[in-house]
Amino acid sequence: MGESTCIFCRIGAGEIPAQFLHQDDTVMAFRDISPKAPTHVLVVPREHILSLAHITGDHGPLLGHMIEVLNQVASAEGLSGRGYRVIANIGADSGSEVDHLHLHLMGGRRLGSMG
């Protein structure tokens, strides 16, 4: 799947609507359309990067900004004091459905064990 068919690239280009919680030149955060928790937000770079496995040293500032945005959204959603989960899936066995780097921010209830 290339950038022209990537759903996250299309969301970033305004071709597909999303419920945005944050947008800037490098990162966007929007609600997952199939939430697995009361709060389920995706934090996505605008740059088409396949996954964390494709990160290089040059991506350090971008990753830092993604975490900063994630923490700001978590605070705005009232999750900071209660706790939340951050997930990044890599590859087919992880259950990843979109080949574009994204962080899942999940919370709003006590989350079960990952095991």
> Catalytic residues, which ones?
102
Q: Tokens 């022209």 sit at which residue?
A: 4
Determine contact, residues 88/99, Cβ cutoff 8 Å.
no
Which is nearest to 79 in space by CA: 54, 104, 45?
104
CA pair distance 60, 56, nearest whole angstrom: 8
For residue 99, with 0-12 CB atoms within 10 Å meaning exposed, 13-18 middle and 19 or more buried, which class applies?
A: middle
CA-closest candidate to residue 32, choices 44, 23, 24 = 44
